[in-house]
Structure formats: C-alpha cells, structure tokens
A and B are shown apart, each in its own frame.
Chain A
Amino acid sequence: MKLVVDGKTHDVDVEDDMPLLWVLRDEIGIKGVKYGCGVAACGACTVHIDGVAVRSCQTAAGDVTGEVTTINGLGQPDALHAVQEAWIEHQVAQCGYCQSGQIMQAAALLAETPNPTDDEIDTAMSGNLCRCGTYPRIRAAVKTAATKVQGA
C-alpha cells in the first residue's frame, strides 16, 4: 500500500491491520513516533492525518487515506515549528519520551483553536500521559506557542 508521510510517498508491504505506528517505526524508519501503550492510553504515538491528531497505535495502516505528518515532519532542529520553539523555550522535556506526542497534540489543538482557554488546553492535552510530570511546563508552552502561532 502507499502512504504519504511527511510529504514523501512510501510503498509498504504490510498487513492492513498493522497499526500505523509500527509501519512508521519499523517499516519506514521514523523513530520520532513513540510506542508507549498500544491502546491509545498514553498519546506518545500521536501523529496528524490531514491535520487531525490521531493515535497511530490504534489506526490500522489499511484505513489511512490522508497525508500523515509525524513529529519529524512537523519541524526539524534547524526549521522548528512554533510549538517546538515554545517547547524549547520552556525546556519542557525531562525524559522527553512523551513529548513527540504532546507536541503533535498541541499543534493540532492550535491549528483548530489558535487561542485556547485553560479548560480547552486541559481537555485537549489530557489524553497525553507524561510520567515525568512536565504538565506545568506543557501548559505554559502551549500558551507561548499560541502567541507565536497568532503572531505568524
């Protein structure tokens, strides 16, 4: 099957029911997308499909028809997305393992709701687990990212 990921088309030979997560990680080799739980309980695997945040561990490869964007396609160290800039400014990460998913979730939130309220941030971000407990910084970084997105 053909998958468009981060602007590139990949031809992959996988079972229809293989989760997109494992196609990205093991078949295409995009390691920024993380495996945390496999049951959509942690959000570490969050990617965008046509701009909408989805849990790639619960998205069958055969069901993917839109364009997939991963953390590696959102921005790179030398070409950062506004949300990544904010994450760096606030030094959000500790272990960092959940942050790909957090950033993808926040980017989708801000694309839809450029100036979210505190409640909207809490609602949008609470599906993403951070075991290190960086939540205070995540909240602050989302707000900073919102000002960057609006200023852009």
Chain B
Amino acid sequence: MGKVGKIARRTFLIGSAAVVGGVAFGVYKAKTPYANPNETDLASGAASFNPWVVIDGDTITLIGPHGDKGQGVAHSQAILIAEEMDLDLGQFETSFGKPDKAYWNSALADEGVPFPSTDDGFTAETMRSIMGGVVKLMGMQITGGSTTIPDSFDKLRRAGAVARETLKAAAAEKSGINTTALKTESGHVILPDGTRLSYQELAPIAAGLEPVTDVTLRDPAEWRLIGKPTQRIDIVAKSTGTQTYGIDLDIPGQVHAAVKVNPRQGGVMNGYDATAALEMRGVSKVVEITNGVAVIADNTWRAMQAAEAIDFDWGPAPYPAEQAQHWEEIGRSFVADRLDKTWRDDGDTAAALSAGTPMNAEYRAPYVAHAPLEPLNATVLVEGGGVTVWAGHQIPRQLQVLVAQITGHDPEQVTFINQYMGGSFGHRLEFDNIKQAAEIANQMRGTPVKLTYSREEDFAHDYPRHIGMARGAGTVKDGKVEAIDLQVAMPSVIESQMGRAQMPVPGPDSQIVAGSWNNPYNLPNYRMRGYRVPQLAPVSSWRSVGASANGFFFDSFLDELIHEAGADPMEERIRLMGHDVSRKVLEAVAEMSSWGGELGPNKGRGVAFVESFGVPTAEVIEVTNTDDGIRIDKVWIAADVGTVVDPVNFENLMQGGVVFGLGHAINSEITYAGGMAEQANYWDAEGMRLNQCPEIFVKGLENGTKVRGIGEPPIPPAAPALANAIFAATGQRIREMPFNRHIDFV
C-alpha cells in the first residue's frame, strides 16, 4: 500500500479539488445535517420528522431516495424505516422523493478509496471517512455500485426510530403520560391502559415538536421485517400489468417523440431530408436536437415510423470505425507511459517470474450493451417558471443540472419525478434521453413531450460496457501457485461516463483493475497493473463495472495456474485465501455443491471467487459436454453481505445475477463497423433465455462486519466459473468473451 499523502493527492475518484477544499473546511460542514427537503411544501398539520418520513392526513409516506431498477430497493428501503417505526406492510405509501443533497450516498466512499474492501485497518477506514465527507459535501445522490443497502441500513432505521420516538413524544403531550410508559405497535402509540393512538392522529402534534434524535435502534433479535421473507410492495402491481413505468406515463396534452441521432456515437449531423416524414399521418413536426432530429407525432409508433423515413447525412465517428482497430489500440497500451497505476505488488513478482518458467495467457472482454427491457424514455414539460421531468434515473441531482443548462433555468427549478425502471444495469446512469427530451420540449414550451427510444435507437446509443484485455504471467512451484502478474488494459469507463455527466474524476481509475487487484489472496507474489487506453468508443458502467471483465481475467488465469500446479481448484483457492470471511464463502460453495464428488461422464465443474463491492462471492458451475454443445446444468453461489436484509429479494438477485453474468459471457457483445454498433436488437445480443438457464442454488452468509448490497457481486464470478467448468469438461481453455466465439452451447 502507498502512503496516505500520496494516495490523497493522486487517487480520489470523486475529485481532488473537492477533497482538498472539503477537508480544509469540511469538519463543521460534514457534520451538519442537511435541511429536510420535505419541509418546503408540507401541508398544515402534516409532519415530517426527517428527509425520509412524512405523515400527511391519512397517509404515511416513507421516502427511499434510491431509484428502483428492479433490484427491489423501493421495498427494502421501506422495510428499514418501517422496522423501527413499527409500521406493518400495507400501512404506508412509498416515494423516491425529490432530488436533494440530504439524500447524499454515504456508501460511495468505499469504492472511491484505493483500499480493498477487505482492508478494515485504520488507514483505510480513515480515508473512507474523509471520502464520505467529500461525497456528502457534494451532495452526491446516486443509485449504483450496489450501495443502496450499505447507504441505507443505519440511516433509514434511524429515520424510522426518530419518527417513532417523536410520535411517542406527541402521544406523551396529548395524554400527559411519560414516554417511558409508552409503546408502539402497528402504526399506533399504545398507552398503558391499552388505548391506541394512530400515528396519523398524532402527526399534527408531532409537527410542532422538535424531532427526538436521541434514539436507540432495535436489537436484531426483535426484527419483524428485516431478514424475514416479506411480500415486495410492488409484486402485485408487477404481476398484474398495473405497475407504471416511465414509458407508460400519459401526461395530459402530451405529444410523442422519436429521435434519430448519429449512430456513430458523438458524430455530427451534416444534414437531413424530412420531406417524406412530414407527410406521414399523425406527424406534426420535426425538430433538430444535438447530432440528430426528433419527430413529433400523436402516437409512439407513428413517430418512430416517420423517424425511419428521414434521410440523413451523418458525420464520421470520433473514434476508430472498425472493431479490429479498437483491439489494436488496446494491444498497444501495455507500455509504461499508459500505466495508470500499479495497484498491488506483493512479494517480488519479477524475481519469481524470472526464476521459474512463466505460463502466459491473454484474455479479452468485449463491449456489451445494457439493453434493459424498458427502452430509454423521458417525458419533459418546459415552462417559463420551471421544468418537470418524468423518467427513471440514477443520478437525480445531476439530471437537474444538465436539464437546466438546456432550458436556461436554475437546477432548483427542475422538478424531477423518478419512476420505477424496467431494468437499467447501468443504462440509466446516462443522460442522453433526458437531455434530448429537454431539447425537444424546450422548443415546444408548454407541451409535455414524451420521448420513447425504439429498441434499435437504444442499442445504437447504448454506451456499452468497456472493452478490455489482460495479459497474465505466472509460475507454480511444488504443486502450488507461486506468482501472478496480471496487466490489464482498458479505456477508463469512469473518464468516459463521468466526463459526459460533467462530473470529471481525476486520478487512476480503480475500475480498470476492480475484481483482479482486490481479491484477498495471500499469493507469495501478486502484481496487478492497470493501463489506461485512450478513449475509444464511449463506454459506461455495466452491472458490476470493472469486475465484470476483471473477475473473468483474474480468476480464469488463477485457475490455469492451479491446473498447471496439479492442485485441486477449490482446495488451492481456499489454501491461498487470506481473509476469513472470504474463505468461508468458498467453503460454503464447496459444501453446497459437494465439491470433489464423482461426476457423470462428459461433465465438468469449475469454481470461481471474486470480491466486488465489498462482497466476497464464490460460484461453482457444473456443465455437460453434449453432442449439441455445452449445457450449463447447475450453479451454486454463496456470498457474504454481512446482513441479508430481504432474503426473498436476495435470492432473486443472486439467481438473476448468475443468469445475467452467464448469458452475456456466452453470447453477447457489441462490435463496431463503419463506426456503428453492429448489433441492433435482441436477436443480436440476447443474454440468456429460459431454456439455457441452469438450476441455481443460493446461500447468503452473514459473517462480514459491514452490510453490503447484492445487485452486482453475483456477476463477476459467473463467467470464470463457467470457463473453468468448460475446461474441466473438455480441456479447452476459453480466454475470450463471448464464449460462443469458441464453443457451442445447447
């Protein structure tokens, strides 16, 4: 590890200028809570105890500021508050709230510091604390990085407890009985004689009190909701077609818009001819937007059809036009002047390699589309006094800034109403659809404009997962792995994405090596170097970000070395593991899968372990080599998240993460030709379908000391576990995703 001073100057993800200024004056500011955003428009008699709880008339609203992309956090945020507030499911409404600094993400700091999550030493924790202050000062409200649960776990339980104790204080005032004699249950304060006062009837009194902030959180042994199977608040709506997503909104007076933007991402529009489109039924006009046009019509389909009828003269792509050129640029990047950072240098790797006979291998990970099933969309109304945006998004406050730049308002004049999202996988961290809808609506002030991407437009403009390559060298000795030297070259996804978002991030990019440098193995020699490739096609965070590629690189290469050493893949990983919590995860999948047992003919098993987002995760995969190709039979997955907040959702996300990781590993990529993505719809990049889905057995462990999120960690070990299983079954080592470039699947 480097020295703290050096790290502070060089490696903060969130911005060195902000760090310097923040630390200088930040102690006071960072400890001061932000004002409660609910108070600005609170009705008379309504009470809001903090940014997360409002009682207005008959309605109790619990505000969970993290957006719900399908990961179930509308529910999990609510149960954290309801647990402490003694509310039952069904007694409250939920809201995503409005964009506000008060909803700053306290868990972002963990991924922002240059320490592995498994390092809980003084220096690492101090840096996380300072980073947390910076994130707070910037008021960064972001849903991402599997941070919703870590950010919310203490904060929202405390918010519920503050509301509960304040309501008790109100009951004390009303009844004249001391709060110590009062209890709460099912949305009521209970007096000693059994009288039940509802929270709603106490709210007007509570509204006049200072919130009680000296609160004690419940003993986990008393939890009714946390850690228990509960019915997700959105499950009935999502099983009956009654859940409203952004794409379903019907704002009175709205018009429908479809866009066509230069499919060479970032290329200009030299000209266009919309004559035919303007004559089509239902089309009212065509307006220019950045690098393209929008068609306005009275129906989504008519707008899309008309957009297809426009002839365009597009400018060239501002990046190499052909896929092979991208790989060439990456291949040229393993050089000293592109070294972003040496992230780990345990032992003396160079000496170990020169003393032995190194094994060498090269790995590749392609561009991959996010392609959530709900295409990007946004509805925007621009008026003189302000702007309203209806959409699903993960960075609400930056959305306000970017929209305000287009319409000439102040960010505070942009009202954003977050919507349930039909998936994201990182897609809804981007702003193009929002900005385009704002550009259109700004030219049609007073009319709500609903922009819906066609699937083809969504694929063409899906800033994909970054491309990457790894070169490994390693040695074995006496039946053990002796040295691993992995060099990883990628364009910086953070530079690309945060640059577009106008939130530039200086310093080395941890995502170039996330999932390979931070695995808590006690290898005698372990060197990890990240190389920053100059920007190629614009790229964006894809579920599990750097670890989605690095997990494959690192664990596959480790597996190669273990086989070279003649060791057992499970036993050698366990032997090398230097972190108790992680070792137990490996032991759990070994036990679940009866590792080492006799397999049938043509079968093979692989194991993989990757730590990402603070979650040690291990998977065992069993495949059969059939005449029709590889069949993925079974997957066992274990992960340690400290506390499983919502066991039903946990299992679903673990299974879904395996499917997501495997599906893309076997058959999905984005390639460029003529500067354009060659894949236009799900036929070209479909991920996994049900007929390929294995049986998936899940176990959640709770040995870790911190509470973690599970949205992303199941993805990184999926690809290497499969590649390792295929090797075990066939002897063929696959070093490139998607695997169907090299082997057939049933």
Instruction: Give A contacts to B, CB under 8 Å.
Output: 15, 18-19, 21-22, 25-27, 29, 31-39, 41-42, 44, 70-72, 74-77, 80, 84, 87-88, 91-100, 103, 121-123, 125-139
Cβ–Cβ < 8 Å partners of A95 in chain B: 69-70, 372-374, 420-423
Cβ–Cβ < 8 Å partners of A19 in chain B: 301
Cβ–Cβ < 8 Å partners of A41 in chain B: 681-683, 686
Instruction: Give B contacts to A, CB under 8 Å.
Output: 69-72, 231-232, 234-245, 247-248, 250, 256, 281, 299-302, 304, 371-375, 420-423, 425, 452, 454-456, 648-649, 652-653, 655-660, 663, 681-683, 686-691, 693, 695-696
A92 vs B421: C-alpha distance when bound (angstroms): 16
Query: How distant is B370 from chain A, measured CB to nearest CB, in Å?
Result: 9
A129 vs B657: C-alpha distance when bound (angstroms): 15
Given contacts A91-B232, A129-B682, A129-B689, 15 further A-B pairs with CB under 8 A are A18-B299, A31-B241, A38-B456, A72-B240, A77-B236, A77-B240, A96-B239, A96-B243, A126-B689, A128-B690, A131-B423, A135-B689, A136-B696, A137-B652, A137-B655
Q: Are B240's CB and A125's CB within 8 A?
A: no
Query: How distant is B540 from chain A, measured CB to nearest CB, in Å?
Result: 16
Cβ–Cβ < 8 Å partners of A80 in chain B: 239-240
Q: Are B652's CB and A42's CB within 8 A?
A: no
Q: Are A103's CB and B239's CB within 8 A?
A: yes
Please, could you name 13 A-B residue pairs with CB atoms under 8 Å apart, sorted by A?
A22-B299, A31-B248, A36-B373, A39-B683, A74-B241, A77-B240, A91-B648, A95-B374, A95-B422, A96-B238, A97-B245, A97-B422, A135-B688
Cβ–Cβ < 8 Å partners of A34 in chain B: 247, 373-374, 422
Query: Looking at the complex, which one of A126, A127, A132 makes contact with B656 (CB distance below 8 Å)?
Result: A132
A77 vs B652: C-alpha distance when bound (angstroms): 22
Interface of A, helix, strand, loop or mixed by DSSP:
loop
Query: Looking at the complex, which one of B70, B244, B299, B653 makes contact with A31 (CB distance below 8 Å)?
Result: B244
Q: Are A88's CB and B231's CB within 8 A?
A: yes
Interface centre among A94, A100, A121, A128 (most CB of B within 10 A): A94
Q: Are B423's CB and A97's CB within 8 A?
A: yes
Query: Looking at the complex, which one of B242, B281, B687, B688 makes contact with A32 (CB distance below 8 Å)?
Result: B242
Query: How distant is B328 from chain A, measured CB to nearest CB, in Å?
Result: 32
A96 vs B234: C-alpha distance when bound (angstroms): 9
Cβ–Cβ < 8 Å partners of B689 in chain A: 126-127, 129, 135
Query: How distant is A89 from chain B, measured CB to nearest CB, in Å?
Result: 9
Cβ–Cβ < 8 Å partners of A97 in chain B: 70, 245, 372-374, 422-423
A94 vs B373: C-alpha distance when bound (angstroms): 12
3 closest cross-chain pairs (CB), A and B: A32-B241, A95-B70, A133-B659
Cβ–Cβ < 8 Å partners of B686 in chain A: 41, 129
Q: Are B241's CB and A33's CB within 8 A?
A: yes
Query: How distant is A73 from chain B, measured CB to nearest CB, in Å?
Result: 9
Query: How distant is A50 from chain B, measured CB to nearest CB, in Å?
Result: 20
Cβ–Cβ < 8 Å partners of B682 in chain A: 36-37, 39, 41-42, 129
Cβ–Cβ < 8 Å partners of B247 in chain A: 34-35
Q: Are B693's CB and A135's CB within 8 A?
A: yes
Q: Are A138's CB and B455's CB within 8 A?
A: no
Q: Which residue of A lies closest to B456 (CB)?
A: A38
Q: Which residue of B lies closest to A71 (CB)?
A: B241
Query: How distant is B648 from chain A, measured CB to nearest CB, in Å?
Result: 5
Query: How distant is B281 from chain A, measured CB to nearest CB, in Å?
Result: 7
A74 vs B239: C-alpha distance when bound (angstroms): 11
Query: Looking at the complex, which one of B237, B301, B652 makes contact with A91 (CB distance below 8 Å)?
Result: B652
A18 vs B280: C-alpha distance when bound (angstroms): 13
Query: How distant is A19 from chain B, measured CB to nearest CB, in Å?
Result: 6
Query: How distant is A31 from chain B, measured CB to nearest CB, in Å?
Result: 4
Cβ–Cβ < 8 Å partners of A32 in chain B: 240-242
A88 vs B236: C-alpha distance when bound (angstroms): 6
A22 vs B691: C-alpha distance when bound (angstroms): 29
Cβ–Cβ < 8 Å partners of B302 in chain A: 18
Q: Are A38's CB and B454's CB within 8 A?
A: yes
User: Contacts A41-B683, A93-B238 given: A35-B656 contact, CB under 8 Å?
Assistant: no
Cβ–Cβ < 8 Å partners of A39 in chain B: 455, 681-683
User: Contacts A136-B655, A137-B652 given: A91-B235 contact, CB under 8 Å?
Assistant: yes
Query: Looking at the complex, which one of A18, A35, A72, A125 makes contact with B241 (CB distance below 8 Å)?
Result: A72
Cβ–Cβ < 8 Å partners of B652 in chain A: 91, 94, 134, 137
Q: Are A37's CB and B299's CB within 8 A?
A: no
Q: Which residue of B lies closest to A83 (CB)?
A: B239
Query: How distant is B453 from chain A, measured CB to nearest CB, in Å?
Result: 10
Query: How distant is B247 from chain A, measured CB to nearest CB, in Å?
Result: 7
Query: How distant is B430 from chain A, measured CB to nearest CB, in Å?
Result: 17
A121 vs B649: C-alpha distance when bound (angstroms): 24
A129 vs B693: C-alpha distance when bound (angstroms): 12
Query: Looking at the complex, which one of B245, B371, B681, B690 makes contact with A135 (CB distance below 8 Å)?
Result: B690
Q: Are A84's CB and B656's CB within 8 A?
A: no
Q: Are A37's CB and B681's CB within 8 A?
A: yes
Q: Are A70's CB and B241's CB within 8 A?
A: yes
A34 vs B455: C-alpha distance when bound (angstroms): 12
Cβ–Cβ < 8 Å partners of B649 in chain A: 91
A22 vs B299: C-alpha distance when bound (angstroms): 8
User: Contacts A37-B455, A39-B455 given: A94-B70 contact, CB under 8 Å?
Assistant: yes
Cβ–Cβ < 8 Å partners of A137 in chain B: 652, 655
Q: Are A132's CB and B235's CB within 8 A?
A: no
A95 vs B70: C-alpha distance when bound (angstroms): 3
Q: Which residue of A lies closest to B377 (CB)?
A: A35
Cβ–Cβ < 8 Å partners of B696 in chain A: 136
A103 vs B456: C-alpha distance when bound (angstroms): 25
